[in-house]
């Protein structure tokens, strides 16, 4: 009885040839699939791309390409405009390089820029998942341009000169306080960023961020969104469609920052629509757009 009982238990623990083959084929298939994907992305696709004819530097990293070189260069290290400046001197006005899975063509030649942005603009789609003036195509882009360009004519732009002058004077006052102190290093990039934010806020939709005078939730939200993400977050956004909704610390902070900015803009526009314009306040871009007749929806 012991032997009879033991035989079925031993037999039942053995895998059938089909089960054994399946247990080996599954991981082998996954390895083959991943390996084939890597070969295609990093060997076959670059070798068959028409962009390979454009001169450019070799990738400094097998996975990230030249991304670290391009994104790692800042003015603080004393090498700003590198490596792009050296590439232009070495390869000319059209340079091709790889950033992760994307191939970037950098144009500095005036004729090439004219060809892409002016002469044959419709043949070069504007990259990006956003829905705004900079990335829209065709009739929608034409409509948006006709609506916006009249507000950037000379007779309109001159109305914004006082806004620029006021905030430039405020910047000078802030820098003078620093200049009067001995042996003080000033981060001008930070100040010019704050100046730009204040000017855009007032001239575009009549909202003073007060970035030069101090910090605020809106300024902090803007600074967060302007910070370049790490390679992990950048790769996740490229490869995974739902990555932006993951409960990761950086993504959670980005969603909070976007919510703050969207609510601020919505509140400003709602207030403009609800109350008559204050004649003592400078006219901003949203005021001009809201004056369009017939009224159009603004995104």
Query: Once rounded to an integer, what is the mean pLDDT over residues 70-88?
Result: 76
- 165 and 279 in one domain? yes
Asked if residue 1 has pLDDT above 70, the reply is no
- 118 and 154 in one domain? no
- 164 and 53 in one domain? no
Split at pLDDT 50, 70, 90, the class of 96 is very high
- 121 and 162 in one domain? no
d(CA 191, CA 175): 9
What is the reported pLDDT for 213?
Answer: 82
Q: Is residue 296 part of a domain?
A: no
Tell me the pLDDT tens digit for each residue of 118-135: 888 778 876 554 455 455
Q: Is residue 8 part of a domain?
A: no
What's phi and psi for 158, nearest 5 deg? Answer: -65, -25
Split at pLDDT 50, 70, 90, the class of 105 is very high
Asked if residue 138 has pLDDT above 50, the reply is yes
Split at pLDDT 50, 70, 90, the class of 78 is low
- 193 and 272 in one domain? yes
Where in the sequence is the domain holding 205, given as residue range(s)?
149-290
For the chain, the three-class secondary structure string (H helix, E strand, C coil) is: CHHHHHHHHHHHHCCCHHHHHHHHHHHHHHHHHHHHHHHHHHHHHHHHCHHHHCCCCCCCECCCECHHHHHCCCHHHCCCCCCHHHHHHHHCCEEEEEECCEEEEEECCHHHHHHHHHHCHHHCCCCCCCCCCCCCCHHHHHHHHHHHHHHHCHHHHHHHHHHHHHHHHHHHHHHHHHHCCCCCCCCHHHHHHHHHHHHHHHHHHCCCCCCCCCCCHHHHHHHHHHCCCCHHHHHHHHHCCCHHHCCCHHHHHHHHHHHHHHHHHHHHHHHHHHCCCCCCCCCCHHHHHHCCCCCCCCC
What's the total number of domains in the chain?
2
- 172 and 98 in one domain? no
Percent of the chain with pLDDT over 90: 19
- 213 and 181 in one domain? yes
Split at pLDDT 50, 70, 90, the class of 43 is confident
In sequence order, the β-bridge partners of residue 105 are 96
Q: Do residues 167 and 196 make contact, with C-beta atoms less than 8 angstroms apart? A: no
- 169 and 121 in one domain? no
- 285 and 162 in one domain? yes
Q: Is residue 134 part of a domain?
A: no
- 161 and 245 in one domain? yes
Q: Do residues 104 and 84 make contact, with C-beta atoms less than 8 angstroms apart? A: no
Q: Is residue 205 part of a domain?
A: yes
What is the reported pLDDT for 165?
Answer: 92
Q: Is residue 232 part of a domain?
A: yes
- 285 and 187 in one domain? yes
Asked if residue 66 has pLDDT above 70, the reply is yes
Q: Is residue 69 part of a domain?
A: yes
Q: Is residue 169 part of a domain?
A: yes
- 176 and 119 in one domain? no
Tell me the pLDDT tens digit for each residue of 176-209: 988 888 888 888 888 888 899 899 888 888 888 8
d(CA 178, CA 196): 20
Mean pLDDT over all residues of the chain? 79
Q: Is residue 252 part of a domain?
A: yes
């Amino acid at each position: 009885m012991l032997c009879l009982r033991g035989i079925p238990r031993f037999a039942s623990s053995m895998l059938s040839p089909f089960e054994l083959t399946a247990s080996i084929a599954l991981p082998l298939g996954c390895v083959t699939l991943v390996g084939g994907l890597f070969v295609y992305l990093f060997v076959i696709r670059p070798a068959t791309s028409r962009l390979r004819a454009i001169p450019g530097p070799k990738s400094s990293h097998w996975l990230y390409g030249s991304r670290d070189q391009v994104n790692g260069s800042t003015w603080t290290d004393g090498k700003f405009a590198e490596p792009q400046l050296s590439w232009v001197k070495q390869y000319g006005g059209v340079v091709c390089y790889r950033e992760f899975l994307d191939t970037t063509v950098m144009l500095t030649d005036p004729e090439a820029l004219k060809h892409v942005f002016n002469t044959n603009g419709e043949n070069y789609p504007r990259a990006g998942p956003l829905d705004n003036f900079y990335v829209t195509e065709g009739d929608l882009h034409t409509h948006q341009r006709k609506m916006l360009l009249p507000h950037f004519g000379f007779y309109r732009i001159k109305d914004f000169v006082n806004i620029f002058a006021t905030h430039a004077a405020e910047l000078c006052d802030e820098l003078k306080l620093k200049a009067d102190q001995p042996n003080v290093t000033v981060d001008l990039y930070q100040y010019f960023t704050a100046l730009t934010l204040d000017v855009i806020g007032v001239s575009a939709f009549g909202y003073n961020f007060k970035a030069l005078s101090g910090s605020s939730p809106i300024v902090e939200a803007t600074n967060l969104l302007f910070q370049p993400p790490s390679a992990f977050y950048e790769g996740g956004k490229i490869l995974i469609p739902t990555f932006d909704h993951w409960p990761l610390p950086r993504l959670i902070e980005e969603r909070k920052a976007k919510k703050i900015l969207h609510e601020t803009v919505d509140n400003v526009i709602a207030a403009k629509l609800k109350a008559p314009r204050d004649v003592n306040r400078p006219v901003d871009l949203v005021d001009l757009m809201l004056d369009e007749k017939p009224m159009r929806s603004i995104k």
